[in-house]
Homo-oligomer: A and B are copies of this chain.
Amino acid sequence: MNPPHVVILGGGFGGLAAARALRRAPVRVTLVDRQNHHLFQPLLYQVATAALNPSDIAAPLRHLLRGQKNATVLLADARAIHTDRRVVELVDGELAYDHLIVATGATHSYFGHDEWASRAPGLKSLEDAVEIRQRFLLAFEAAEREPDADRRRALLTFVVVGAGPTGVEMAGAMAEIAHHTLASEFRHIDAASARIVLIEGVDRVLPAYTADLSASALDELHRRRVEVRLGARVTRIEDECVHIGDERLPACTVVWAAGVAGSPLARTLGAPLDRAGRVVVDETLTIPGHPEVFVIGDLAALTQDGRPVPGVAQNAIQGGEYAARCIARRLRNETVEPYRYRDLGSMATIGRNAAVVDANGVRLTGPLAWWAWLVVHIMALVDFRNRVFVLMQWAWSYLSFGRGARLITRKVPPTLISRDDDRDDDAPSKPADTAAATR
């Protein structure tokens, strides 16, 4: 008889932890992901801001599980889950399971304005990160060639929506690049004059942290000349303009880091969802009537001690390990205890020498927090090679103020470089023959 088949959907922190925790269990494991790599998402903003290479924060799933004989990696796209037949529907086939662990995570939410997605990309995948990096770097290139002063201003205005950890880290990193790394490299613009605007709906940055850490992060953002707009909402996004409440802010580059929306796969489970589309799970992380279907990580909506469990890597990892343990115990006919998320603390970095850390009542800010952040993230990087390389690149950036991965690798759209209308006389003082003249 074949050993029971455990299918894991998603190779993020939760899925990978579950697969690994099943290495000694008498089961066959199939880990399904649309991508061939596990991604260290907390550092994704560093790819978006040209500090790290895509491969520094990603490792092939196949490579990570190569030594685990009971595990198979499948590069495939899951479309639906048929809990009645215990089958996962793929784009090009089906996959039967005995136990299922759904770990497909969540993405950002545009609060009903999905049409904003192309203008204001979120940061969830390596493609997103490279796309944002291109837009960010191209904006400076376009500004260098732009004779119209207003449009130049809009090109050098960068808006980050949402001041959670990702938004704060993005804004801080963008400010450092504009004000330090690029400062001396352009001839017609002053990169240091770039505006970084961080927009948050509630009244403080890092709302999930304690009030004094929020205040400290705000200080650090101000010190980096990030303009923080609290209690502000984006009401409209146009081609080169963001509306904040009633204000119209000309800005060509917008990054979205707000809201939460569960992976669409959740809707096919037939289980109750919360308003953000996450699956409401019971205390064993399973769905009603299906003890063989676990939902873990960001996709699970779970409250503990009256507070929602946060969508952080630690919760995904602990959930994955818990689900694996439950499956192993059930195969031995043992009972399972309820899931308990153990908060190991949270941290966010604002930039060079500045971070906030909150771990079991210990709160750190400034350089000490930054070094703590660095050590924790280096240690957590999945495979050893990445650790070495990330450490090297950080050391380099730290010592040189440089950024190693400033590449624009797609074909440059001519429209981003220059427009043929709306010139005015306030053009930067450059020799007439280097300006792009209208034909």
| Contact-residue size bin, chain A (C-beta under 8 Å from the other chain) | 35 or more
A400-429 interface mask toward B, CB cutoff 8 Å, 1 = contact, 0 = none? Answer: 101011111111101001111000000000
CA A389 – CA B397 in complex, angstroms? 13
Query: 4 closest A-B pairs (Cβ-Cβ)?
Result: A93-B436, A96-B433, A55-B405, A53-B53
Q: Is the CB of A37 within 8 A of B407?
A: yes
Residues of B within 8 A of A194 (CB): none
- The 23 sampled A-B contact pairs (Cβ below 8 Å) are A5-B431, A35-B409, A36-B141, A36-B406, A37-B406, A53-B54, A54-B409, A60-B407, A63-B406, A66-B185, A72-B430, A72-B434, A76-B417, A92-B419, A93-B438, A93-B439, A94-B436, A94-B437, A130-B409, A385-B396, A385-B402, A389-B404, A392-B392
Contacts of A328 in B (CB 8 A): none
A412 to B78 CA separation, bound complex (whole angstroms): 13
Copies per complex of this chain:
2
Q: What's the nearest-Cβ distance from chain B to residue A399, in Å? A: 10
Q: A53-B55, A420-B92, A436-B92 are in contact. Are A76 and B385 (CB under 8 A)?
A: no
Contact A407 B62 (CB under 8 A): no
Bound CA span A400–B145, Å: 46
Tell whether, in the assembled complex, residue B34 and residue A412 are in contact, meaning their CB atoms are under 8 Å apart: yes
Flag if B437 contacts A407 (CB, 8 Å): no
Tell whether, in the assembled complex, residue B404 and residue A55 are in contact, meaning their CB atoms are under 8 Å apart.
Answer: yes
| Complex: A346 Cα to B115 Cα, angstroms | 54
Give chain B residues whose Cβ lies under 8 Å from the Cβ of A385. 396, 400, 402, 404
Per the 8 Å Cβ criterion, residues 184-231 of A in contact with B are: 184-188
A185 touching B62, Cβ below 8 Å: yes
